[in-house]
């Protein structure tokens, strides 16, 4: 009779390992002596000790090859939040995650660590020091959030000590750092088009921004603390820098660091939100004819004009989480990593 070889606890697969967070995670795992497979729709780089498997996570057969003899799977693939494509989010974040879970079962994977998002509880209104027991957003602010909620539920409900399949969800917020394709590039692009002159609201709203290495640290701690007798099984954990900052101070620091002016003039939040909603509706109606991508989406305006910061107490207590890189150092490292986005470059 053929016996299944028990996979080494240091063999893992990173789904979405070519992306911003995924690649930082892969690099850190390799440093820590893990053998790493990357499964992604694209191969973005090469790294000694890393095996790439190119494919769509909705394709179970392709996934099974990348999960062979692996004990841990990190799932950090998702369509970009700005894509606003409902069918794509449904296919990848919901149907695809179901496929990932099935593939994990069939391949004998023991642990699945999902990159969820703190936004699963965000409805566009203030959240101050929010804990993980806040209810999921009843009216999610966009398709991305809607499908991240379903995805997290699927993964946490799949946790089964009896089956020897343990799951946990990491909920980061506002990830930034070197190679981020979203936050800094969108900010700079908006500034270059002369649209970063205004502060939405009174500018006092506090928000969590989380340095990518701290998010990676949270994922690895979760993987290493996830055991049948640990409190992590089937739970969600906020992972942030634990230093809420005024949204507009953070944006201004990055802009000024890159040589652009900080926004100065205030606009009422409700006015900007109303305009963003209207533009979104116009874009939706015109979509069959022309594809418009407004910069100020309702989601971005809500994120820019409300308080939303989260407590990491659960992660500190259950897995000893402390953010290794403080916010100010993280901002300096990030600014230095984008010489090509400096004003005049
Ligand atoms: N960035 C942030 O501020 C936050 C992100 N998150 C979550 O963190 C995770 C990683 O985000 P981030 O690194 O920023 O995103 P990226 O877009 O940089 O990385 C995601 C990767 O997954 C790939 N991918 C997309 N669809 C598929 C698919 N069907 N099959 C295989 N691979 C696929 C992407 O390829 P391609 O680029 O070609 O689409 C990309 O390489 C996501 O789950 C996101 O929801 C949570 C909170 C905050
Ligand atoms: C144009 C300006 C008003 C804002 C420019 C910066 C924004 C692009 C970013 C500020 C907060 C960011 C953020 C996300 C994406 C980039 C921002 C909107 C997420 C939506 C990414 C995915 C998540 O899970 C939650 C993030 C919250 C913060």
Query: In which residue are the tokens 């919901």 written?
Result: 94
Is 174's C-beta closer than 6 angstroms to any atom of ligand 2? yes
Is-catalytic flag, 144?
yes
In the prediction, which pLDDT does 1 show?
Answer: 43
CB 111 within 8 A of CB 167: yes
Is 96's C-beta closer than 6 angstroms to any atom of ligand 1? yes
> Which residue's CA is the nearest one to ligand 1's atom 44?
78
Q: What ranges make up the beta strands (E) of the chain? A: 11-15, 35-40, 50-54, 72-75, 111-115, 127-130, 166-172, 175-176, 198-200, 206-207, 210-211, 235-239, 245-246, 265-267, 308-310
Is 303's C-beta closer than 6 angstroms to any atom of ligand 1? no
Of 39, 78, 99, 114, best ligand 1 pocket probe by most atoms within 8 Å of the beta carbon? 78
CB 216 within 8 A of CB 25: yes
> Which residue's CA is the nearest one to ligand 1's atom 45?
78
Distance CA 95, CA 87 (A): 10
Separation of 316 CA from ligand 2 center, angstroms?
25
Distance CA 327, CA 174 (A): 12
Q: Shortest CA distance to 117 belongs to which of 272, 253, 305, 310?
A: 310
In the prediction, which pLDDT does 2 show?
Answer: 44
Residue ranges of the chain whose pLDDT lies below 50:
1-3
Structure tokens, 119 = 């936004």
CB 177 within 8 A of CB 211: yes
Distance CA 64, CA 103 (A): 6
In the prediction, which pLDDT does 7 show?
Answer: 64
Is 308's C-beta closer than 6 angstroms to any atom of ligand 2? no
Per DSSP, the three-state class of 295 is coil
Q: Shortest CA distance to 201 belongs to which of 272, 122, 254, 274?
A: 272
Q: Which ligand is nearest to the CA of 180?
A: 1
In the prediction, which pLDDT does 287 show?
Answer: 85
Q: Shortest CA distance to 39 belongs to which of 20, 64, 9?
A: 64
Of 76, 97, 334, best ligand 1 pocket probe by most atoms within 8 Å of the beta carbon? 76
In the prediction, which pLDDT does 6 show?
Answer: 54
pTM of the model: 0.95
> Which residue's CA is the nearest one to ligand 2's atom 7?
183
Separation of 161 CA from ligand 2 center, angstroms?
36
Distance CA 28, CA 34 (A): 9
CB 168 within 8 A of CB 233: yes
Domains, in order of start, for the chain = 11-175+209-240+311-324 (3.40.50.720)
Is 303's C-beta closer than 6 angstroms to any atom of ligand 2? yes
The partner residues of 54 in beta bridges, in order of sequence, read: 40
Is 187's C-beta closer than 6 angstroms to any atom of ligand 2? yes
Separation of 303 CA from ligand 2 center, angstroms?
7
Is 175's C-beta closer than 6 angstroms to any atom of ligand 1? yes
Is 81's C-beta closer than 6 angstroms to any atom of ligand 2? yes
Active-site residue, selected from the candidate residues 144, 309, 321, 338: 144
Separation of 300 CA from ligand 2 center, angstroms?
6
Distance CA 72, CA 300 (A): 34
Of 77, 112, 174, best ligand 1 pocket probe by most atoms within 8 Å of the beta carbon? 77
Of 77, 136, 186, best ligand 2 pocket probe by most atoms within 8 Å of the beta carbon? 186
In the prediction, which pLDDT does 292 show?
Answer: 83
């Amino acid at each position: 009779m053929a016996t299944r070889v028990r996979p080494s606890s240091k063999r893992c697969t990173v789904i979405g390992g070519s992306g911003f967070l995924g690649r930082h995670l892969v690099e850190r795992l390799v440093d820590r002596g893990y053998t790493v497979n990357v499964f992604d729709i694209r191969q973005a780089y090469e790294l000694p000790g890393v095996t790439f498997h190119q494919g769509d996570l909705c394709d179970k057969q392709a996934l099974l090859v990348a999960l062979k003899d692996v004990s841990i799977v990190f799932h950090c693939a998702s369509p970009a939040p700005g894509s606003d494509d409902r069918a794509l989010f449904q296919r990848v974040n919901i149907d695809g995650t179901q496929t990932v879970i099935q593939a994990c079962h069939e391949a004998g994977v023991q642990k699945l660590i999902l990159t969820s998002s703190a936004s699963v509880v965000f409805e566009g209104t203030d959240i101050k020091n929010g804990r993980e027991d806040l209810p999921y957003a009843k009216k999610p602010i966009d398709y991305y959030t809607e499908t991240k909620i379903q995805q997290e539920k699927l993964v946490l409900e799949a946790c089964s000590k009896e089956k020897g399949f343990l799951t946990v969800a990491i909920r980061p917020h506002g990830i930034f750092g070197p190679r981020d394709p979203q936050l800094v590039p969108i900010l700079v692009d908006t500034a270059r088009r002369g649209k970063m002159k205004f502060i939405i609201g009174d500018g006092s709203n506090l928000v969590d921004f989380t340095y990518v290495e701290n998010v990676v640290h949270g994922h690895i701690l979760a993987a290493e603390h996830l055991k049948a007798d640990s409190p992590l099984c089937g739970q969600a954990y906020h992972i942030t820098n634990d230093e809420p900052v005024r949204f507009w101070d953070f944006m201004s620091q990055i802009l000024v660091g890159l040589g652009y002016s900080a926004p100065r003039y205030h606009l009422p939040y409700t006015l900007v939100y109303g305009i963003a909603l209207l533009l979104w509706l116009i874009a939706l109606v015109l979509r069959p004819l022309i594809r418009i991508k407004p910069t100020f989406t309702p989601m971005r305006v809500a994120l820019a004009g409300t308080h939303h910061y989260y407590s990491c107490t659960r992660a500190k207590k259950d897995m000893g989480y402390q953010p290794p890189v403080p916010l100010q150092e993280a901002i300096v490292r990030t600014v230095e990593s984008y010489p090509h986005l400096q004003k005049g470059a």
